[in-house]
Amino acid sequence: MLNPSAVRSVLGWLAAAIFTGAFAFVYIYNPSTAMPATSSTSANPAPSAQPKGPPPANLETAIFATGCFWCSQAVLERLPGVWEATCGYTGGTVANPTYEQVSSGKTGHAEATMVKFDPKVISYDELLEWFWHMHDPTTLNRQGYDEGTQYRSAIYYFSDAQRIAAEKSKAAAQKDFKDKIVTEITKASAFYKAEDYHQEFFNNNPAQGYCQGVISPKLAKLKLTLTPTTAGTAAKPAAATTAGGASSAAATK
């Protein structure tokens, strides 16, 4: 006959193990719980993926929101012709918002990436092509397990030329997706640079759980280098999957 005390002990141990495992999973894969980079990486950040030397005088600016800005920065800064890719917040109603405020969903901001690019090397149309392939533009206010208006898909334009190009590109991209594209195309407004520990997050924290589970696979899928480099290795983005969007919840933040 089983000893009731022993049974309770075993069941209690199993319950504790399950709870601990579940907590660890949520902590690792929920970016809102991620800690800033350690003092060693902050003092010695990984080399930027952007080109070196003085930038050309003809740089243009674009802003894209594709969910997690860790992902979009990691992708965009690996493209030939991109000189800067900065994580930040835009489209909201509060000046100089913090990550915690934006994460609450109450400020109206989106996590976004501001790109400074050389149009002689990569055109705005080419950046738009990458935009449609680097995230799922058919999920409203959600990318993978991240949900909220701060994770919306959006293109913020600086001119009528950018607006027209974005609208034309959106219409052309729809054929690659089974579901309707919900990306908003909005005039650019104030852009606030995110906290320092968000910048170059993947380069500085490649072994972090989210980077290993989401960003690395995304870069591999797009045929981009995982290590920082002065130029991406892919000439064109990889083809999107048409069965419900460009990427699955397991591969997109």
Q: Which residues are catalytic?
A: 68
- Asked if 85 contacts 200 with a C-beta cutoff of 8 angstroms, the reply is no
| Gap between the Cα atoms of 17 and 87, Å rounded | 37
Instruction: Look up residue 187 and give its amino acid.
Output: K
| Gap between the Cα atoms of 192 and 117, Å rounded | 19
229-241 as b/e: b if 16+ CB within 10 A:
beebeeeebeebb
**Alpha-helical segments (H) within 78-123:** 99-103
| DSSP three-state, residue 243 | coil
Q: Which of 14, 2, 129 is nearest to 62 (CA)?
A: 129
For residue 113, the tally of other CB atoms under 10 A from its CB is 27
Q: Strands of 184-187's sheet, edge to edge?
A: 184-187, 153-157, 60-66, 110-117, 82-90, 191-193
Size (the chain), residues:
253
